[in-house]
Amino acid sequence: MTDISSQEKITLAHGSGGKAMDELIRSVFVAGFDNSDLAAMEDQARFDLAALQQQGNRLAFTTDSYVVDPLFFPGGDIGKLAVTGTVNDLAMGGAKPLYLSCGFIIEEGLPIDTLKKVVRSMQQTALEAGVSIVTGDTKVVHKGSCDKLFINTAGVGVIAAGVNISAAGAQPGDAIIINGYLGDHGAAIVDARGDLALQNSIESDCQPLGDLVQAMLAVCPEIHCLRDATRGGLATVLNEFAQASDCCMQVDETKLPIRAEVRGMCEILGLDPLYLANEGKLVAVVPAAAAEKLIEVMHSHPAGRHSAIIGQVKETSKPVSKPSVLMTTGFGSQRIVDRLVGEQLPRIC
């Protein structure tokens, strides 16, 4: 068998289905993710349905792909991002994330040490999130056919009985909550690309949110809407809620948690922090009566220390008689926060 320890870079042979590929899978992925389901080396992972049914009455299933540039950035990397993003997509439906798959598209010439570093990060993040990476796939493409490394992850989770979270669930009078600072991930990626010679210490907020969501559901099972504010940021999520629920989302600019460093970068570059991507921030719409208790619980969780109530849901009315997002500015005026037009920052996740 080919000794991968004697090789420094990925070659096309590592994707050929032969000895080199087998050694790559066993020494990097099976060893790195280290669980019995993956070690079986079957073409699929197999689960006991009875065990799943004990945890809930519905399955949640999602998939996402990650092409971030650069692969490593302050606060994270493509591996951490791939696990976090898919775990969070499951959590936003109220599901307890359980299992992930991962597919790697690797460019010929990628240093094997880089791949190992990404795998270690994925495993560390999976352990933190309480999930197992149980099946996957590897493809190697010619140099220039992709940019170093792309990852696809799919995830399965279980939703407990009585949990019904939907973008269409917002009701007039509901409170709008976010679990912390906005725009950190987008700002960190801009800084990591090094094109602008900016000097700051902004780190990505990349973090799994499944445990936070379960803590929220424990005190407020009737959460109406929940979504992570990734590409398109807070503005996009609020517009999706408004459209699906046929309501007006009204937020207060003075209550939005945004770091001074992120505001400064946005002012320099002409960006709007409302549209910057986040990878560890959720937006929740909840009954107003439960909002303060929920904030108290979120503040006690590491992923929610800076949580804040930022607005409320209202019926659609003048000046805008259709589902919309309105923001009360620091000057007391109101402006419409529309959907993002174009692309502020490509390849941020």
Residue 1, pLDDT score: 46
Segment 2-13 shows an average pLDDT of 79
Contact assessment for residue 39 and residue 57, using Cβ atoms and an 8 Å cutoff: no
pLDDT for position 59? 96
Which of 79-88, 136-145, 195-204, 243-252 shows the lowest mean pLDDT across its residues? Answer: 195-204
Residue 100 pLDDT exceeds 60? yes
Q: What is the mean pLDDT of residues 84-88?
A: 98
Q: Which residue has the higher pLDDT, 322 or 224?
A: 224
**Nearest alpha carbon to residue 225 among 167, 307, 277:** 167
Tell me: pLDDT of 5 over 90.
no
Strands 248-252 and 324-328: parallel
CB atoms closer than 10 angstroms to residue 341: 7
- How many other C-beta atoms are found inside a 10 Å radius of the C-beta of residue 245? 23
What separation in angstroms does the CA of 254 have from each of 311, 330, 333? 10, 6, 12
Nearest residue to 79 (alpha-carbon basis) of 151, 13, 4: 151
Do 185 and 204 contact (CB within 8 A), yes or no? yes
The structural domains of the chain, with segments of one domain joined by +, span: 4-159, 175-336
* Fold of the 4-159 domain: 60s Ribosomal Protein L30; Chain: A; (3.30.1330)
CA separation for the pair 107, 95 (Å, rounded):
34
Asked whether this chain's domains 4-159 and 175-336 adopt the same fold, the reply is no
Determine the Cα–Cα distance for residues 308 and 12; give it in Å rounded to an integer.
50
Query: Which pLDDT does position 316 carry in this prediction?
Result: 86
Which residue from 204, 182, 201 is spatially nearest to 78, judged by alpha carbons? 204
AA letter at 147: D
167-195: pLDDT as tens digits = 999 999 999 999 999 999 999 999 898 76
CB atoms within 10 A of CB 104: 25
Please state which architecture CATH assigns to domain 175-336: Alpha-Beta Complex (3.90)
Distance of CA 249 to the CA centre of its chain: 22
Q: What is the pLDDT of residue 346?
A: 87
